[in-house]
Structure 1
Amino acid sequence: MELIPALYLIPVNISNAPLRTALPDGNLDIIKQLRHFIVENVRTARRFLKRCDPSFDIGSVTFYELNRHTDLTEVSSYLNPLREGVPMGVMSEAGCPAVADPGALPVSIAQREGLRVVPLVGPSSILLSLMASGFNGQGFSFNGYLPIDPRERERKLRELEQQSQKLDMTQIFIETPYRNNRMVASLASTLKGSTRLCVACDITDQENESIVTMPVSKWKTAKYDYDKRPAIFLIYAR
């Protein structure tokens, strides 16, 4: 099929599982036709495109890098091909672009200018962990990274726990992988024993995936090792 001029939001695999277990064939058909991509990292974007199609002509692609080093005043110019009627893609490092991701900026610009935006189906660790947690999926909040300072982190955790109980809301957050075990220990020592905690780790990796929900009281004595593994944390207090 011939692509319409649009900004295609392209999910990227979140594990080393075969692409076709997480991404529809329709996504791959679209990716093969695009030649302009806004990405977080050019090297990993190239690798992903080659996984999608080993024969992909990388030399014909123009990449626009968007990360913490980018001059944000330049981002609007990235969309010039789209303004001229050429379809473009936005890719995250992993998961869905524009969700907890800098890709939200070009999407916002495109929407303000009335340019077409097309989100594609793919894995989101936030939603997948919520689905598997057993927690409230109708009221939830994603909070990104919590404070590093122990006292500030404990204060924030108690605040999230109170909001969860008061508003019947699942609270979701992440941590830098090498600090995951410390996060679980902090949760176990800070939250009420009856509050439930889910740790969802290595999502979509069939061999290593682990999604465990238990009351905090049980996490105090549980054996686990989540360090250096991508994980999502969810709490639910009733």
Structure 2
Amino acid sequence: MQASLYLIPVTLGDTEHRRVLPDYNRDVILGIRHFIVENVRTARRFLKKVEPSIVIDDLTFYELNKHTSPEQVAGYLNPLAQGESVGVISEAGCPAVADPGADVVAIAQRKHYRVVPLVGPSSIILSVMASGFNGQSFAFHGYLPIDAAERTSTIKKLEGRIYAENQTQLFIETPYRNRKLAEELIRTCRPSTKLCIASNITCADECIQTRPVKDWAGKLPDFDKKPTIFLIYK
């Protein structure tokens, strides 16, 4: 196996990994001894779920967070220069998509290392698939501004792009503020604008519903503290 940087998806929530991850991913994982991860504890737990026989103490973990310098990240890739593959594991879903793993991939590309994305669940793609919205043109914006006035202005601008560019708009919020954002969307958007709320995707209590904004008033689902993606379209 050619030494490569493997981008290893993990489950979204407590989903049984066999439901959303191919067996091939397990085969790749078994050939890797170096992992760049957001959180060592959860990464170790994930690897044990994928293959209980893995000896965790035989593996090397490099933690990647907002305090990790570019020099440290570059050092994490040293095994590739020695012919050993490296895996990247995020906290949920696919590495390098709305995820600090993108910094690792950028350095690997500059150094001309082989980068291999593995198949796995992406809440962004899955929510677009299930929304009924435009899947040929869409934009993911991550978190909206915290400042109330700025957030309202941003929502209005994104809604404008729906009608001007025929483009689906996606964004997320810290789970405990889901309801506050949903209520603001109901207040701010046109009554006819469609809002899809996609919560706990792939999990046992998954809920993905699309309705005109006016029809959401007083009918919001129980999505407090649950990872949720919001999509708006015309």
Superposed pair shares fold, TM > 0.5: yes
C-alpha contact (below 8 Å) 1:189/1:220 kept by paired residues: no
Which of the residues 56, 59, 64 maps onto 1:58? 56
| Aligned equivalents of 1:148, 1:199: Cα separation in 2 | 20
TM-score of the superposed pair, with normalisation by structure 1: 0.96
Match of residue 235 from structure 1: 232
C-alpha contact (below 8 Å) 1:180/1:228 kept by paired residues: yes
Deviations 1:44-99 (A, max 9, x none): 10000111111111011111111112223311111000011111101111000000
Match of residue 136 from structure 2: 138
Match of residue 29 from structure 1: 27
| Aligned equivalents of 1:32, 1:210: Cα separation in 2 | 34
| Aligned equivalents of 2:205, 2:98: Cα separation in 1 | 24
Structure 1 unpaired stretches of 5+: none
| Structure 1 range deviating more: 66-75 or 11-20 | 66-75
| SS of corresponding position for 1:98 | coil
| Structure 1 range deviating more: 62-71 or 219-228 | 219-228
Runs of 4+ residues deviating >2 angstroms: none
Shift of 1:148: 1.4
Q: Aligned AA for 1:228? A: K
Summarize the alignment of residues 28-47 of structure 1 with structure 2, pairs less than 5 Å apart: 28-47=26-45
| Aligned equivalents of 2:51, 2:17: Cα separation in 1 | 11
Shift of 1:223: 3.8
C-alpha contact (below 8 Å) 1:40/1:66 kept by paired residues: yes
| Aligned equivalents of 2:34, 2:221: Cα separation in 1 | 43
Match of residue 110 from structure 2: 112
**Once the two structures are aligned, what percentage of the paired residues are identical?**
57
Which of the residues 199, 221, 224 maps onto 1:224? 221
| SS of corresponding position for 1:211 | strand
Match of residue 214 from structure 1: 211
Summarize the alignment of residues 1-238 of structure 1 with structure 2, pairs less than 5 Å apart: 3-205=1-203, 207-237=204-234
C-alpha contact (below 8 Å) 1:27/1:120 kept by paired residues: yes
| Aligned equivalents of 2:75, 2:23: Cα separation in 1 | 31
TM-score of the superposed pair, with normalisation by structure 2: 0.98
Shift of 1:225: 2.1
| SS of corresponding position for 1:33 | coil
| SS of corresponding position for 1:221 | coil
RMSD: 0.9
Number of residue pairs aligned between Structure 1 and Structure 2: 234
| SS of corresponding position for 1:130 | helix
